[in-house]
Amino acid sequence: MTEIKQQEYDLLNEIAQDSMVTQSNLSDRLGIAVGSVNWYIKRLITRGWVKVSHLDRTRLKYDLTPTGMKVFTQRAMLYARDSLKVYGGYRQKAKALILELKQAGVQQVYIDGEDEIIDILRLTCFEAGLHLSEAPNDCILEADGTGYRRKV
């Protein structure tokens, strides 16, 4: 796969959404200097990923080329694939913990935390038929950075 920097990908994304975007708007949206935007756009043009059309003396239109669209799509697909791998890993860890708890006779848990990783644990508890408590009880579950654990 073609090597692409995050700023280049972000620019491709913005251009794909709005071909009439200005460099000033890109600078604001991406939080990088206008000069950097200009440099990156020139780089994207040189790589053949973006073409520029002059609408008048001061107005430009940017379009992704077929090659630019391919690079953009490949990066998005890799991100989606990697995200699914991460989700699947956490899902397996949640299932393993819930199985242990059910085998130990636990029927009610309190989940400590609020983020996407905790949401995976919460969903797994629902599916397994564990009751989620509104207040801390004997079985408190939390994310530990690499998976889940029972808080002691």
**2, pLDDT greater than 80:** no
Q: Check residue 58 and give its pLDDT.
A: 80
For the whole model, what pTM was predicted? 0.60
State which CATH number among 3.30.559.10, 3.40.50.11750, 3.40.50.150, 1.10.10.10 fits the domain covering 6-64.
Answer: 1.10.10.10
Report the DSSP beta bridge partners of residue 140.
110, 151
Residue with tokens 């998976």: 147
Residue 40 pLDDT exceeds 90: yes
Q: Work out the angle at residue 18's Cα, subtended by the Cα atoms of residues 13 and 20, and round it to the nearest 5 degrees.
A: 130
For a pLDDT cut of 90, what percent of the chain falls above it? 76
- Report whether pLDDT(151) > 70: yes
pLDDT score recorded for residue 1: 60
| Residue 38: φ, ψ to 5° | -60, -45
pLDDT attached to residue 11:
94
For the cut 90, the answer to whether the pLDDT of residue 43 exceeds it is: yes
Q: How confident is the model at residue 5 (pLDDT cuts 50, 70, 90)?
A: confident
**Average model confidence (pLDDT) for the chain?**
92
Among 17-21, 101-105, 130-134, 143-147, the minimum mean pLDDT is found in 143-147
Spell out the domain ranges in the chain. 6-64, 90-151
pLDDT in tens, 76-120: 898 899 889 999 999 999 999 999 999 999 999 999 988 889 999
